[in-house]
Amino acid sequence: MSSASWHARINCGRDTGAGFLVTERHVLTCAHVVAHSDTAPVAVSFAHGGEGEVPARVIAHGGWDGRDTDPGDLAVLELDRPVSLKPAEFATPSDAYGDPPRRLLAYGFPKRYDEGTLAEYRATADQLIAGEWVQLEAWAAHGQSLAPGFSGAAVTLADTGRVVGMVSAAARSPEIRNGRMLPTQIMARYWPRLGDLIPTPEYDQPQKERLRRLVEAAEEGAPSGAGGTVRPAPTHPQQTHNRIARTPECSPERLYLDAVGPLGPPLPPHGFGSLWAAAWYLLSEVPDPSATPRFATRLADFVDDTRLRAALRSWPLPQTHRTPTPAPSNSRPSSTAHTWSPILVEIAPSGSGTRDFLVEVSAYNDRHRRVVGSRRLPVDRVRPYALQRIDEAYHELEPGARELIAFVLPRRWLNADVARWKRSADDDSPLGSFAPLVVMDLERRRSGGLQHKLRQKWRTLDARPATRLHRIDCWSVGQDQVKLTIDLRRDADMVGFGTPPRADGVRRLFQASLNAAVPVMLWPRSGCRGEHRCGRPADCPGSEFLDRLAEHLADLPPHELPQYVHELRETAYASDTAEPHWAHDLALLWEDPECLPDPVGYTHNPVG
């Protein structure tokens, strides 16, 4: 131990204990050392005596309730004035353990040792007792024991002098030479600012400080799920659950589970008293470095303030997740799929009610997917939420990116008029006129077999200068569904329907086309329902639609169809003719797995 200048003696009335300087004005000690601070003055003096006695006050504590077994035996003292001493430095929490064991030192102030004395100990194991303490046992059979006056002492590595914990208790009998310490990662749960100072494997002090400030800002009132608002984390963490009205989706426990995934470490036995406690646990005790950014991203979805939401999503650094990921070796050699930068809007039944849906909006840069928002919502809130997050997703795209808005919808919703949604609260223009927009089938996107067939189809399409349109006119609605699936799987690039998928017969053929892994499907959202056998009349609106479609799609490369349909929609929406433009309600299903490479389900469990 090269210097003991930051070790402190704490006097509170008749009680004496130890502490240690962590900033120029802050000292940490045990809450039980200053238990009478309401009625007795607190004074701090340092081991080398250069500063004299400095008055102090308790500004935060961990919620210790007076019993030896109560958690949170931590107090933060603020000095009346800054001191010129160099504060303590911290080791990585895991440095306290080793094989052979690491020699640990504690600097305390027992009776007759006003200048302080050292005790040598080691950690029995890295296993926490009651999720709170590490057991200490004497380094040797002789020497100084952890007597009264050591409470609050920093536990340091003998070879570096860096702090790994704080003495919180000693054995009642002098014959039993053991004690307990609060390890630094537990201390930081009770005083979040301490987490900035403790080294963690992946993130430096500025990054952790930025995350802490963002999480604290969120706790002060940003997350707003249906029915609850997160309020500031109280000084007394044990009261947190009484002061926060949380929805299940934005509780620290749920956000933690979303961050670590189904195969990650389980929740700690006592859960988390605050959002920061969950974030700090991820930083300090979960080995997956990507878990903490996932936590921040998920938390952002419950924050109303746009700037705070963007800051959470960009943590740890604004550009960290913008680096393109190299395409895997099995991608199509001549693929042009990556000329698109999709904004993906996935809408799926939540599994928790017939009227609730999970809505997840993501942005892609090259092959990297960034979740912009994910929320379980009643059906009447799906549209405004999706539109708001689509607008925010543009912040994730590079300036020259070719955006493509892609809705992944349940099969029964594929005919929904998402292209005609008003773009925003103050822009009544259709969303389909703002950017290329396509729909995709949720069931097909989740099917490994159909995704594989789609990739095979696109390899063939890439080698062709133009696509082949397979027509399904209204008079062919009665054909066999199974035979159509097999025929389309064999030789169809694109299917055009003359009728919307409303009537049972049309829906069956529509399903056959989806199951055939046809990459492109087009149809009118309104018009002939396909319920009559009209033969082949020249004035059939469905037949006329398909004629115009075949005429306009001739010689077009398939990967450019979203852009071309977008231009058609712009023309149709702007048309001022008496009759609607033939493409005024044109729907396009277009799916290239190379463009959206991860159809493996949802990032978050849909059941809250």
**What is the pLDDT at residue 331?**
54
Q: How far is CA 419 from CA 236, 407, 414, 503, 515, in A?
A: 51, 10, 11, 22, 24
Beta strands in 233-332 (DSSP E): none
Instruction: Indicate the pLDDT class of residue 44, thresholds 50, 70 and 90.
Output: very high
On whether the CB atoms of residues 371 and 603 are closer than 8 A, the answer is yes
**pLDDT over threshold 50, residue 275:** yes
**pLDDT over threshold 80, residue 224:** no
Stretch among 29-33, 37-41, 92-96, 229-233 having the lowest mean pLDDT = 229-233
Q: What percent of the chain has pLDDT over 70?
A: 85
CATH of 337-437, one of 3.30.420, 3.30.2310, 3.40.1000, 1.10.10: 3.30.420
pLDDT tens by residue, 237-262: 444 333 333 566 788 999 999 899 88
Instruction: Indicate the pLDDT class of residue 561, thresholds 50, 70 and 90.
Output: very high
Strands 117-123 and 163-170: unpaired
H helices then E strands: how many in the chain?
15, 23
How far apart (Å, rounded) are the C-alpha atoms in residues 209 and 220?
Answer: 16
How far apart (Å, rounded) are the C-alpha atoms in residues 220 and 212?
Answer: 12
Average pLDDT over residues 204-233: 67
Average pLDDT over residues 387-398: 91
Residue 386: burial class (beta carbons within 10 Å; 0-12, 13-18, 19+): buried
On whether the CB atoms of residues 462 and 425 are closer than 8 A, the answer is no
Whole-structure pTM value: 0.65
Average pLDDT over residues 93-107: 92
How far apart (Å, rounded) are the C-alpha atoms in residues 97 and 103?
Answer: 9
Terminal Cα-to-Cα distance of the chain (whole angstroms): 51
**What is the pLDDT at residue 386?**
95
Q: How far is CA 271 from CA 189, 260, 274, 534, 605, in A?
A: 12, 14, 9, 66, 19
> Which DSSP letter does residue 228 get?
-
**What is the DSSP annotation of 449-492?**
HHHHHHHHHHHHHHTSSS--EEEE-GGGTTS-HHHHHHHHHHH-
Structure tokens at 77: 């003292």
**What is the pLDDT at residue 332?**
53
The rounded mean pLDDT for the chain is 84
183 vs 305, higher pLDDT: 183
Stretch among 110-114, 208-212, 424-428, 569-573 having the lowest mean pLDDT = 110-114
SS3 label, residue 568:
helix
**pLDDT over threshold 80, residue 541:** yes
**What is the pLDDT at residue 227?**
30
What CATH number has the domain spanning 7-190? 2.40.10.120
**What is the pLDDT at residue 327?**
44
Instruction: Indicate the pLDDT class of residue 503, thresholds 50, 70 and 90.
Output: confident
| Cis peptide bond upstream of 55, omega within 30 | no
- Domain spans of the chain? 7-190, 200-322, 337-437, 442-590
- Domain 7-190 identical in fold to domain 337-437: no
Strands 178-183 and 134-138: antiparallel
**pLDDT over threshold 90, residue 31:** yes
**What is the pLDDT at residue 11?**
95
Task: Please give the biggest Cα pair distance in the chain.
Answer: 110
Backbone φ and ψ for 216, nearest 5 degrees, come out as -60, -40
Amino acid at residue number 473 = D
How far apart (Å, rounded) are the C-alpha atoms in residues 398 and 343?
Answer: 12
Structure tokens at 168: 């919180």
**What is the pLDDT at residue 225?**
37
**What is the pLDDT at residue 538?**
58
How far apart (Å, rounded) are the C-alpha atoms in residues 302 and 323?
Answer: 26
Structure tokens at 142: 């002789």
How far apart (Å, rounded) are the C-alpha atoms in residues 491 and 81?
Answer: 82
On whether the CB atoms of residues 250 and 275 are closer than 8 A, the answer is no
Average pLDDT over residues 283-295: 92
How far apart (Å, rounded) are the C-alpha atoms in residues 396 and 412?
Answer: 30
**What is the pLDDT at residue 330?**
52
pLDDT tens by residue, 1-28: 455 789 999 999 999 999 999 999 999 9
SS3 label, residue 22:
strand
| Cis peptide bond upstream of 100, omega within 30 | yes
Task: Enumerate residues 6+ apart whose C-beta is below 8 A from 482.
Answer: 512
Rounded to the nearest 5 degrees, what angle is found at the Cα of 34, between the Cα atoms of 29 and 38? 140
How far apart (Å, rounded) are the C-alpha atoms in residues 243 and 241?
Answer: 5
How far apart (Å, rounded) are the C-alpha atoms in residues 247 and 261?
Answer: 20
